[in-house]
Structure 1
């Protein structure tokens, strides 16, 4: 089992002027504490789970590039990029750039997108759900072709391109891993089986069922279910003084028994690096044995 630190909110005590130094400190601590993943939101307004929309939110790929410069081993991604926010050519180029400059540590996290408030607020198109899923499948086909050899044209339902030239290519070959977020049984998990290397699900009573559905989709498209890394979004809380460490390890153990290979989540107390350092001594060594 592996852990990932997710940074869903950046309303930190020292304010926006200190976000650069504070993020650098957090990134260094994550790298040294044995975390496998470091992820950021891909939103433009804060989402209601973490606060009002006016709270601080940084653009995702600029932030990941900054984090790449302050880390050496942790894998970098968004949880997750809404397909409506970037043309797939721009998205593939951004992730390729991140992969090259990080030494091969980029992951493409992607989904259909859901935040109508920020889309309408900033003037992004927000088509109906059916069309967003069509765009998602187009984007998945597009980025995979852009990371492949050659520079042929692309034709999809919503995107057309004459030449998918990508130079330099990603360092990870055949391509950076693709993570699809979401647990919709008809389309999202089918897309995972067909296109993704990693899935991100929610832990809960229906998780075994969702994994069974993914297994069925894999069988239908001839994909090895075991090739896909199963991750969950989980609140990583060990308590102010570590008093909840055992409870978290028990929960992670139960997830590991289901076949989950990584948990990614927010740690209460961040940006204080001491809480991350405590994970490095008390949690990540134990989690690696699960």
Structure 2
């Protein structure tokens, strides 16, 4: 099992002038320890489920561009891009740019955006849930076309592109991997089966994950897709400080097919990354 560092909070240290150095040191430590992936949220206000909206928050892809410059090997992704926050053609270009400048380390993590306060606050269009998922599917189609040899037009219900030209092409071959986040059984997991290389779920319980993966397996059968060819990842919601409990959880989820835990710093991100680093070799052996 791999370990990913999900960097979701910029409130520690409190001085904004120290955010960049802390971010860089955390990313370097994660890379040196053998973390597989470094991810950030796609929010402009901090989530009210985790703090207050006026806490520090950085734009995701600018942040990953900075992280790319201070690391060499670790995979970089947004967990996950809000579909309403960037035009699909520009999103494909942004991820391509990250991939080229990082030496082929970018992935596209994407999902249906949901945080209406930041959308209303910053003027991002708020559309009904059903439309968000329809736009998500068109966005996936556009990214796949832009990362192919087809430079022609794209005509969808919501997006029309006269050209899907993307030069330079991503360094990752055949293209950056696509991860879809979320556990919605009717829409999200169906889109995983249809388009994605990976999914991301919340590790709320083994029973819940078992059910979600069975739903995904059914969608794969309907889509003619190899279920085993989709990488299954999960955000770990517990503490890493009870080592035995964490490793027992990792074994249980690995047995279900989860191949990566994404852990979230709970306070000082440097100290957290140092503590989590000791878990990497044990997880790798699972």
Please state which band the TM-score falls in when normalised by the shorter chain: over 0.9
Partner Cα separation in structure 1 for residue 274 and residue 9 of structure 2: 20
Q: 2:234 aligns with which of 223, 232, 244?
A: 232
Name structure 2 gaps, 5 residues minimum.
none
Partner residue in 2 for 1:195 = 195
Contact 2:82 2:110 in 1 (8 A): yes
Q: Please give the residue correspondences for 1:45-56 in structure 2 after superposition, counting only pairs within 5 Å.
A: 45-56=45-56
Q: In the alignment, which residue of structure 1 is the partner of 2:146?
A: 146
Q: Any idea what SS the aligned residue of 2:48 has?
A: coil
Q: Match of 1:277? A: 274
Check the 8 A contact 2:12/2:267 in 1, yes or no.
no
Q: Deviations over 1:246-283 (max 9, x none)?
A: 110110110001010001120324322x4423333x31
* Pairs aligned (count): 284
Work out whether 1:265 is the aligned partner of 2:268. Answer: no
For the 8 Å contact 1:193–1:218, the answer to whether it is kept is: yes
Summarize deviations over 1:134-159 as a string: whole Å, max 9, x none: 10000000000000013110011100
More deviation, 132-141/11-20: 11-20
Confirm or deny that 1:289 pairs with 2:282: no
**Structure 1 segments of 4+ aligned residues over 3 angstroms from their partners:** none
Structure 1 equivalent of residue 251 of structure 2: 253
Give the corresponding residue for 2:181: 181
Distance 1:236 1:22 in 2: 23
- Distance in structure 2 (CA, Å) of the matches to 1:249 and 1:72: 28
Q: TM-score by structure 1 length?
A: 0.95
TM-score, normalising length from structure 2?
A: 0.97
User: Which stretches in structure 1 are left out of the alignment for 5+ residues?
Assistant: none
CA shift for structure 1 position 49: 2.3
1:50 offset after TM fit, Å?
1.9
Of 219, 222, 246, 1:220 maps to 222
SS in 2 for 1:206: helix
Shift of residue 52, structure 1, vs aligned partner: 0.6
1:20 & 1:85 partners in 2: Cα distance? 23
**Structure 2: distance between partners of 1:277 and 1:148:** 40
Q: Distance between the aligned counterparts of 2:118 and 2:279, measured in 1?
A: 36
Distance in 1 between residues matched to 2:180 and 2:155, nearest whole Å: 22
CA-atom RMSD in angstroms = 1.1
